[in-house]
Chains A and B, each alone.
Chain A
Amino acid sequence: MNMKVDIKKFTTSIFRDYLVLVAILALILVTMVVEPRFMSTQNMTNIFRQFGPLSLVSLGMTFVIIGGFIDLSVAGIFSLVCVVTVSLIDPIGQVPAMIVGLLVGIVCGLLNSFLLLSSGALTQAEALFITFGMSMITGAFALFITGGMVLNFSDLAGNFALFTAIGSGTVGLFPISLIIFSVALVILHFFQSKTIMGRTICLTGGNKTAARLTGLSVNGSIMMIYALSGFLTALGAINQFSRTTTASPTMGKGFETNAILAVVVGGTTLKGGKGSVLRTLMGTMLIILMSNCLNLLGVSSFMQNVTKGAILVIAIWLDNRKPL
């Protein structure tokens, strides 16, 4: 009897662990059969390019969620970084503009953590609202800077070869954006599993009180996760406008929900403590493939949102039924 239960537990845990992978494979197979255009070079390039921005934002979100919090401000920060960077290319040159863009991300992230820490907000719900407020503020700044206009690379006088390279350049077969992502993934995986700071973030997410009473720097990890999220969002934003060669002040819209979706579907628990960037990689792949397939199959965008919502709900439901 006990044996039976164990086997059942074992199979369900295997099933859950690889559920995302199975879903990805199933999706690819079905779409390949139904819609041969899926395998075209053009579509593959398309998928790779879409992958860059969302996956980077999701990597940052992974740490925020592992640390026991949430970050809705990525939408606003994303838009702000887009317009700030592009509008600075002419005045100060492309490299300084990129550096400023990344700094804007980090500073906004630190501001999030500062607001949380100084107000003593230590729950996910409070973080949800504070970062939502930050998203509105940064998003509004983005609109303010451009006066609501869209900035086009074609209107720029200066050199923007760096961004063109990020957007559409390749090294051998590999798009540069994919290389950026892979490097980030490897570094972050190492950071999480091998460094004191990474472990501290996980423990903080697992039990803040216990972490603090064990002398771990809980405040430090909160600052770290939001700064990291801001930085990776900025990196994602740069990736995005480099690909589209335009920067609109509402470009970040939807990235917060999609990033959370990617993290949770990947199997990182919203309860904090446990999860990994590798899971997020799978989650992101699933989200992007799914929207690509649904597009190819001509499913309306309303219906696509229904699917996304349903997947999020199911992922959280499965997570909550999992024993600790």
Chain B
Amino acid sequence: MSQAASAEILSVTDVSKSFPGVKALDQVSFSVKRGTVHGLVGENGAGKSTLMKILSGVYTKDSGTVVFDGQEVPSTTPIKSMNMGLAIIYQELNLVNQLSVGENIFLGRFSEMGGMRGVHAKGRELLDSIASKIDTHKLVEELSVSEKQMVEIAKALSFQSKLIIMDEPSSSLTSDELKELYVIIRELKSRGISIIYISHKLDEIFDLCDTVTIMRDGHVIDTRAISDLTRGDMIAKMVGRTIENEYPPRANKVGEILLEVKSLNTLKLNDVSFSVRKGEILGLVGLVGAGRTEIVRALFGADKTRGHEIRIDGKPVKIRNPKDAIQAGFGFVSEDRKLQGLVLPFSVEQNISMASLQKIAPKGILRKSLEKAIAEKHVKSLAVKTPTIKTKVVSLSGGNQQKCIIGRWLETTPRILIMDEPTRGIDVGAKYEIYILMKEIAESGGAVIMISSELPEVLNMSNRVLTVYEGRITGEFDPIRYSADRVMESALGFKGGAEA
């Protein structure tokens, strides 16, 4: 037993965690050996983030045991776990933008470091140890994402961390920056520090990790040495089913041009032009922040533009705000369901009817019976699982909430439905239903513009894919003819794509 404790920095046994309505983790067990890089993979919603948040003390586990560095940890808080030697670097980095690099590394520990002078001197030492040349006096807001990551790593080292968890560290790095990160991770490993590396990108897992744990739907499916696994095995274990039935057949009724966008310019967009055909699902691919969301927001009138031309059916339309856009035939399922889509304290009914208030109030007076009919129609046809239509939308699961928003837009019978991350945080079954809906909208003569960070989803659903890089459209692909790698290269700004 004591030997096991010394060989393993972390061992998790039968940890479970439930949230209202969901079992996020079900008897999860795995362990991480000292001085290894341990990959953690699984689809969105598999429970990776929940597990990491339990380890770092953001959530409390319902049951099970966690042993860290030979000692059982019954409960913890983020500060306790930092001091214990367990650091976590989140995807959305946790730094204070308005403070300097040195101050961020030793946040809250200035006096222990002997004042600001000590902070900057020790900060320098730590950054040097990972061969980073960032000036410790620089403000964090002036740094690039990869530099910020270095600061986070230095901060983790300042706590003498024995285990560093990296949550999707590569999601917004260029390939050169990624190589630097590889070097640092190997350096940390040679010092005996263990890493848990969470990523969707299987290449990185195969490049970096010694062992990998695969999760699905709140369970650990398998933990294995990387050399025992092939890519195919890993994917099969992640999705738990064959790939064929993950997506419905592609929409196949593409007709003439419905929407033309010319020279769309905003602060972040540069001369974006494209068109969408009737019956088509158009996918936008790019990194977070590349301008995908900005394109659809500008199109929908949600952001200010610097002049552009939009034609629907060849006729020019003017869109200054979302209201104009809706009248022109747009619908918009926004990226962040809770912040931008739902009115959480309101009922399912009121959330569904809110884009159609004119319809349920023929003379300016709301008719409850009309509202009820609309809500019931969509709850039924979309199979929204809710006790009643009066239930507050906040108590529904992610997939059902998303269906409410889709229902809201279906009621406006949009000709062009924009869907930004339509399946984010939604379980597999509900995903498939949403794919079917997208296809139906397209095949009934409308068009769908979809954005997704999950490349397979875009490639399998779209009739045509546009890649976006630094506010420009860099390529156009027929997803049947081109491989995911080609599309990704273009989205990463390597070179222009081919004509479809």
A residues apposed to B, CB below 8 Å? 193-196, 199-200, 202-203, 206-207, 209-217, 271, 273-274, 324
Would you mind naming 5 contact pairs between A and B with Cβ atoms under 8 Å apart? A199-B366, A203-B346, A203-B350, A206-B343, A207-B340
Interface check B417, CB cutoff 8 A: no
**Minimum CB–CB distance for A288 against chain B, Å:** 29
Among candidates B339, B355, B366, B392, residue contacting A214 with C-beta atoms closer than 8 Å: B355
| B interface residues, how many (CB within 8 angstroms) | 30
Tell me which of A209, A217, A274 contacts B345 (CB under 8 A).
A274
A210 x B343 contact (CB < 8 A):
yes
Interface 1/0 per residue, B302-327 and A, CB below 8 Å: 10000000000000000001110111
Shortest distance from the beta carbon of B489 to any chain A beta carbon, whole Å: 33
Contacts of B134 in A (CB 8 A): none
Most buried by B among A194, A207, A214, A217: A214
Q: In whole angstroms, what is the CA distance A271 to B322 when docked?
A: 25
Q: Which residue of B lies closest to A193 (CB)?
A: B366
Question: A193 to B371, alpha carbons, bound, how many Å?
Answer: 13
The residue on A at minimum CB distance from B337 is A210
CB of A203 within 8 A of CB of B302, answer: no
Contacts A324-B344, A324-B394; A213 near B322 (Cβ below 8 A)? yes
- A212–B320 Cα distance when bound, in Å, is 12
* Chain A min CB distance to B499 (Å): 34
How far does the alpha carbon of A216 sit from the alpha carbon of B408 in the complex, in Å?
A: 13
Chain B 340-373 residues near chain A, CB threshold 8 A:
340-346, 350, 354-355, 357-358, 361, 364-366
Tell me whether A324 and B357 are in contact (CB under 8 A).
no
Q: Does B334 contact A (CB under 8 A)?
A: yes
Q: Which residue of A lies closest to B332 (CB)?
A: A213
On whether the beta carbons of B323 and A217 are closer than 8 Å, the reply is yes
With CB as the reference atom, state the residue of chain A lying closest to B394: A324
Q: How far is the CA of A199 from the CA of B340 in the complex (A)?
A: 18
B357 touches A206 (CB 8 A): no
Closest to B326 in A: A215
Q: Which among A193, A206, A215, A274 is the interface contact of B323 at CB below 8 angstroms?
A: A215
| Separation of A212 and B358 alpha carbons in the complex (Å) | 15
Nearest first, the 6 closest Cβ-Cβ pairs linking A and B are A206-B343, A215-B326, A215-B323, A207-B343, A214-B355, A324-B394
Q: How far is the CA of A211 from the CA of B326 in the complex (A)?
A: 13
Distance between B339 CB and nearest chain A CB, rounded to angstroms? 6
Q: Is the CB of B334 within 8 A of A273?
A: no
Binding site for A on B (CB under 8 A): 300, 302, 321-323, 325-327, 332, 334, 339-346, 350, 354-355, 357-358, 361, 364-366, 392, 394, 408
Q: Contacts of A209 on B, CB cut-off 8 Å? A: 339-340
* Contact, CB under 8 Å: A213 / B357: no
| Contact (Cβ within 8 A) B357 A273 | no
Further 6 A-B residue pairs, CB within 8 A, beyond A215-B321, A217-B323: A199-B354, A207-B343, A209-B339, A210-B340, A210-B343, A214-B322
Nearest B residue to A197 via CB reads B364
| Closest Cβ neighbor of A322 among chain B residues | B345
B72 → A minimal CB distance (Å): 28
CA distance A207 to B342 in the complex (A): 7
Chain B residues closer than 8 Å to A196, beta-carbon distance: 357-358, 361, 364, 366
B357 and A212 contact, CB distance less than 8 A:
no
Question: B300, B344, B354: which contacts A216 (Cβ < 8 A)?
Answer: B354
Is the Cβ of A212 less than 8 Å from the Cβ of B322? yes
Residues of A within 8 A of B358 (CB): 196
- Closest A residue by C-beta to B357: A196
Residues of B within 8 A of A217 (CB): 323
Most buried by A among B323, B325, B408: B323
Q: Which residues of B contact A271 (CB under 8 A)?
A: 345
B365 touches A324 (CB 8 A): no
Known: A213-B341, A217-B323. A195 touches B365 (CB 8 A): yes
Which residue of B is nearest A217, CB measured? B323
Cα(A209)–Cα(B335), bound, Å = 12
Of B345, B346, B364, most buried by chain A (CB within 10 Å of CB) is: B345
Report the bound CA distance from A214 to B361 in whole Å.
16
CA distance A199 to B323 in the complex (A): 16
Among B327, B334, B365, contact of A213 (Cβ-Cβ < 8 Å):
B334
B300 contact set on A, CB distance < 8 A: 213
Cβ–Cβ contact B361 & A273, under 8 A: no
The CA of A196 and the CA of B354, in the complex, are separated in Å by 10
What is the bound-complex CA distance between A213 and B408, given in angstroms? 12
**Contact, CB under 8 Å: B355 / A211:** no
B393's nearest neighbour on chain A, judged by CB, is A324
CB distance from B367 to the nearest CB of A (A): 9
Q: In the complex the two chains form, what is the Cα distance from A194 to B302 in whole Å?
A: 28
Which residue of chain A lies nearest to B412 when distances are taken between CB atoms in the complex?
A215
B345 to chain A, nearest CB (A): 5
Give chain B nearest CB distance to A271 CB in angstroms: 8
* The residue from B342, B343, B354, B361 contacting A195, defined by CB atoms under 8 A apart: B361
CA of A211 to CA of B302, assembled, Å: 11
Q: How far is the CB of B186 from chain A (nearest CB, A)?
A: 43
Nearest Cβ distance between residue B13 and chain A, in whole angstroms? Answer: 26
Contact B364 A195 (CB under 8 A): yes
CB closest residue in chain B, given A206: B343
Contact A210 B322 (CB under 8 A): no
Contact partners of B322 in chain A: CB under 8 A = 212-215
Name, among B341, B344, B354, the residue most crowded by chain A CB atoms within 10 Å (CB to CB): B354
For residue B396, give the distance in angstroms from its CB to the closest CB of chain A: 12
A194 touches B332 (CB 8 A): no
Q: Is the CB of B344 within 8 A of A206?
A: yes
- Please indicate the chain B residues that have their CB under 8 angstroms from the CB of A210 in the complex: 334, 339-343, 354
A216 to B361, CA, bound (A): 14
A13 to chain B, nearest CB (A): 13
CB <8 Å contact, B357 and A200: yes
- Report A-chain residues with C-beta under 8 Å of the C-beta of B326: 214-215
- A214, B354: Cβ atoms closer than 8 Å: yes
Chain B contacts of A324 at CB under 8 A? 344-345, 392, 394
Contacts of B340 in A (CB 8 A): 207, 209-210, 213
Complex-state Cα separation, A71 to B300, whole angstroms = 32
A203, chain B: closest CB distance, angstroms: 5
- Chain B's closest residue to A204 (CB) is B343
For A214, the chain B residues whose CB sits under 8 A away are 322, 326, 354-355, 408
Residue of A nearest to B325 (CB): A215
Q: How far is the CA of A214 from the CA of B412 in the complex (A)?
A: 10
Contact between chains at B357 and A199 (CB < 8 Å): yes
Cβ-closest chain A residue relative to B358: A196
Chain A residues, Cβ within 8 Å of B355: 214-215
Would you give the shortest CB distance from B231 to chain A, in whole angstroms? 40
Bound form: Cα–Cα A195–B364 in Å: 6
